[in-house]
Chain A
């Protein structure tokens, strides 16, 4: 990979590094303080991310897709919402830790509204946090805020489901190698040829082809180009990451 490619892949990292560099030059004491402040969160990340990794592995390996679709999918109804609320509430770690788990559940069939519930309750509702809140702000304060928050989360989930389709969320394909696959769902007719050719990379969700999370591996490049070629409606486009269409 060239330097520009590395930079493009880590845009956010590059921006943050630049800001730090600038502060180190002009306000060295502030930069040191910011570094120090970050340490607490770095420790938290090291404690939490391995768990998240193991949990995504377990979900992928142990829980069949049909089960997630049935329990958390579009037809899971109110029980699905409650299950999502519980899943999010018993979690550990900051909201970014919820992203990999939610993404895994989404690609395995969870509905948009349930992903909203898991993300939101993961962020807000946590037992250690509730105990802390009750201690400093009183039990009734904590209780009322908890009830109102749960109601708000359910309403938010319902609105998001109406506004955002699953299509909008899965179109951002996962990039593992230099290749990136974009599937145009306006063209895709759901014929399933790509899934038959490369089941490790493609899957069918709501009769449209999707790229599996983390599905693209370095060895697949040639085969991916073949699937793009075989797609009867040319809905699959394989691109160089950040570059021209291959």
Chain B
């Protein structure tokens, strides 16, 4: 498998005038839906590290094509936002499939390591502010360049999530209640922008010096961008550090200070809270989608089967937020 992949990579890189032997090709623990490989290219006097990100070619109900992710990274990079440099893009019809090669960025993505290891202690102090700044920069991207992206109003997104939930025929009184609650909320009157859609630990690269890069753009879309601020505050992305509202490492005030230092539109905590409930509901529906791929026989995967039993995590988070004073 990896020998064949190595020769595909080698051919693809030749077309970008990068000629060298592919070495140390190894799979990385990635998301549930993508293959991620790390490898090096041995050049005359040095070797360079790269990442291959490869999709199945099947677009999910929320996910975009892998090659489109590459296009977003190229556009966002021009603004000075922190994303890895794209080296080469392959479409589904090419031998390498729906995928792209990007430059490897040094740092850590595994949330529990970043939160636990002492080497990141200093970086964590300022990380919420840095994330706020980065999210605001992403939201300044010119969406005219990204016309291939799905565009949805909050109402449309909410209805889509609800419709998706009903498709699975698994009644959730908590989700029914949440849907009614969300329909009455104010999500902020802000212009449509590029939404990363999955900004959290796991999808950012952090080093001892702080935030290095933003990766994993498969849930990107155009819409109300404040969704990104609520998403990273969801308890699912605090990895057990429940009292640190932002990603398990920071305070909401710091995230908003960072965001508001760049953004013309000034965001308040109440709006983020509505988005936090929205995000938790959204993650619950994504869990349902993932589990259904196993349940309907598309693939047999213990990971996807297990995620079906994580829906209850989002339900307990929602009742905590709505009824029990949770933050």
A, B from the same assembly? no
List the interface of chain A (C-beta within 8 A of B). Answer: none
